[in-house]
Amino acid sequence: MKRLMQLPVTLRSGSVMAGVLASCLWLAGCAGAYGFAAAGDSTHPFRNPGLSMQAAMQAVAIGTSNRQDVMAALGPGTVVRFDSGYEVWVYRKNPLRSESANAEFVILFDPSGHVKKSRIRPAYDAKGG
């Protein structure tokens, strides 16, 4: 009789585990930024889901609020740091998307960590209005 070559048990279970891991990674990719998670309504940009963009802007005082104050009031945002010491924090209505139709609140911090400027960029409709 011909004997078929059998893989050791550890190698066979390793290949099964690799298949399971690959399947899990594939499914996790579907639930990522452009998969199932982004299919629903927009997420809230601030720690407090009831906080509007206008209320957030009023909570930030130019010249007196610092990074810690803003973090406590609004929560984490998307941070862009510059070599000059300035920082920009951006809060988007739906942080998973970056279309122009997405409203955002932007805060500029000076090198000392205090708010220098802030603005709200409104959401624009897809027709350019």
Per-residue pLDDT of the chain (129 residues; tens, 9 = 90+): 556 556 555 545 556 555 555 554 444 444 444 443 333 445 678 888 889 899 999 999 999 999 999 999 999 999 999 999 999 999 987 656 556 667 899 999 999 999 999 999 887 765 555
CB 38 within 8 A of CB 96: yes
CA gap 59, 99 in Å, rounded: 26
Nearest to 109, CA basis, from 57, 64, 67: 67
Q: Going by C-beta distance under 8 Å and a sequence separation of 6 or more, which residues neighbour residue 119?
A: 105, 106
Q: What is the pLDDT of residues 44-64, one digit of tens each?
A: 788 888 898 999 999 999 999
Q: What does pTM read for this prediction?
A: 0.61
